[in-house]
Amino acid sequence: MSFKLGLTGSIGMGKSTTAKMFADAGCDVWDADAAVHRIYEKHGAAVDPMQAAFPEAILDGSVSRDALKRIIGNDPSALKQIEAIVHPLLGEDRARFISESSKVILVFDIPLLFETGGDKNMDATVCVSTDAVTQRARVLERGTMSEQQFELIKSKQMPIEEKRASADYVIETDTLEHAQAQVEAVIKDIKRKLANA
């Protein structure tokens, strides 16, 4: 029986780096964003149902995220339809990952873990966190989005204070060494709990 650990945090908080630390420490990691890419790519599970609902979202045989953004921009109610297609497929992808893994601790890297109620399916949750100045600097340094896009994404995410308060563990990503030490402490704590269960 595997222990399911939900990993979340707001944009630019160091979630991907922390997920890699868990993987390097011997945990199996399921990445929600990577799963979305899998179901959107050519022959992916979302292509046919999306083609039926939004033919204009299909580009070269795969689902175009940009086209979906335009569709939602023109008709915000389309989001519900898109989620109704995507969420069950992600659930199947996650279930397959769980059934195929033999690791003791499974980490689920899900940006909107609390927002979507996904934390209810976890044995524990961990929130990665840093201060607002570092967060903004990290996101804008990537050069992939404008300040307005960053603010828009942030506005759709639960405030980090609420995420921290809701999580079983909080990992401060101020330095790599500090984050690494906290990852090891979380794993140790979970293994201790499993041994005493």
User: Residue by residue, what is the 3-state secondary structure of 87-130?
Assistant: HHHHHHHHHHHHHHCCCCEEEEECCCCCCCCHHHHCCEEEEEEC
Same domain flag for 120 and 187: yes
Q: Which of 102, 125, 150 is the last residue of a domain?
A: 102
Contact 31, 20 (CB under 8 A): no
132 token code pair: 């607002």
108 and 133 belong to one structural domain? yes
Domain span including residue 62:
33-102
State whether 197 and 141 are in the same domain.
Answer: yes
CATH number at residue 13: 3.40.50.300
Q: What average pLDDT does this structure show over 182-196?
A: 96
Clarify whether residues 145 and 185 are in a common domain.
yes
The answer on 187 and 111 residing in a single domain is yes
User: Are 137 and 47 contacting, i.e. CB atoms less than 8 angstroms apart?
Assistant: no
Q: Could you read off the pLDDT of 66-114 as tens digits, one per residue? A: 999 999 999 989 999 999 999 999 999 999 999 999 999 999 999 989 9
Examine the domain organization and report whether 66 and 9 are in the same domain.
no
* Domain termination residue (choose one: 48, 76, 102): 102
Picking from 52, 79, 102, the residue at the C-terminal end of a domain is: 102
Same domain? For 110 and 188 the reply is yes
Instruction: Give the residue carrying structure tokens 């569709």.
Output: 71
Which tens digits make up the pLDDT trace of 140-160?
A: 998 888 888 888 888 888 899
Span 124-144, average pLDDT: 92
Residues 75 and 108 in one domain: no
- What is the reported pLDDT for 124? 98
**Whether residue 1 has pLDDT greater than 80:** no
Give the confidence band of 41 by pLDDT, cuts at 50, 70, 90. Answer: very high
For 156-168, what is the mean pLDDT? 92
Residues 97 and 112 in one domain: no
Q: Residue 102's pLDDT is what?
A: 94
Number of separate domains in the chain: 2
Q: Are residues 97 and 108 in the same domain?
A: no
21 and 86, same domain (yes or no): no
Same domain membership, residue 126 and residue 40: no
State how far the Cα of 91 lies from the Cα of 86, in Å rounded to an integer: 9
